[in-house]
Structure 1
Amino acid sequence: MEVNRDEAERCIDIASAALTNNQAEKAVRFLEKAQKLFPTDKARALLDLIAKNGFTPGHDNQSGTSDGTGPRQRRPGEEDQGEKASQTAKSYTSDQLDAVKK
C-alpha cells in the first residue's frame, strides 16, 4: 500500500535514532513495524545489520527505559518525586476539600 510508505519511512527514522542511542530493542520494533506497513530494502538491511551484531531482544544496553515500553529502573540517589510533588502542590484547605466532597 502506497499510503503506508510515509509512515514506514517515519518508523525507519525513529529506528535509526534509537540505534544511535544504543536502543537496539526499540529499533527492532520500529523496523519490524515499518516492514509490516511498507516493506523496504532499507528496513530489511538495518534489521539484518542488527541481527549480525548479535542483538537479542531483552538485552538492551540501557538501565531504564525512557520510551514507555517497560518498567523504569530507579537510579541510586533518585527520590520519589511524585510523592513530594503531591505534598507540596496542595493549594487548598481541608475545609475546601470537605466542601468539594459534599
Structure 2
Amino acid sequence: MGLYGLVLFMVVQRTKEVGVRKVLGAGMGSILWPFSRELVRLIGLAFILAAPVAWWVMSGWLNNFVYKISLSPFIFLLALLATGVVALLTVIFQSVKAALMNPVKSLRSE
C-alpha cells in the first residue's frame, strides 16, 4: 500500500507535466521514463541501506538454530528483483493511466 500511495502521489503531482508532454507529442516511453527512473533510484538506495542490516539481523537469528544455513547473496538479489518488478508494475500501471488521460483535463484543472 505504501508503494502504491507513493506512486499515486508522484503521478498526481506531475499530472500537468504529463499533459504538457503529451500535447508536445511525447510518446508513452518518454512519459513513463521519469517516473520509473525516480522509483528505481529510491529502490536502489533502500536496498543499499537495508541489505547489510537485514544480513546482520538474519545471520544472528539463524545462528540460534541447531541446523544452520548460510545466507547467500542470491537471496538478497532475488528480494531486490521481486521488489523491483512489483514497483515497476505499479509505476507502469499508474503512469499509463495518467498518460491515457485527456491532456486538456489535466491542464485545465486549476
TM-score by length of 2: 0.26
Indicate the structure whose relative CO is greater, using CA pairs within 8 Å and at least 6 residues apart: 2
TM-score by length of 1: 0.28
Question: Rg: which structure is higher?
Answer: 1
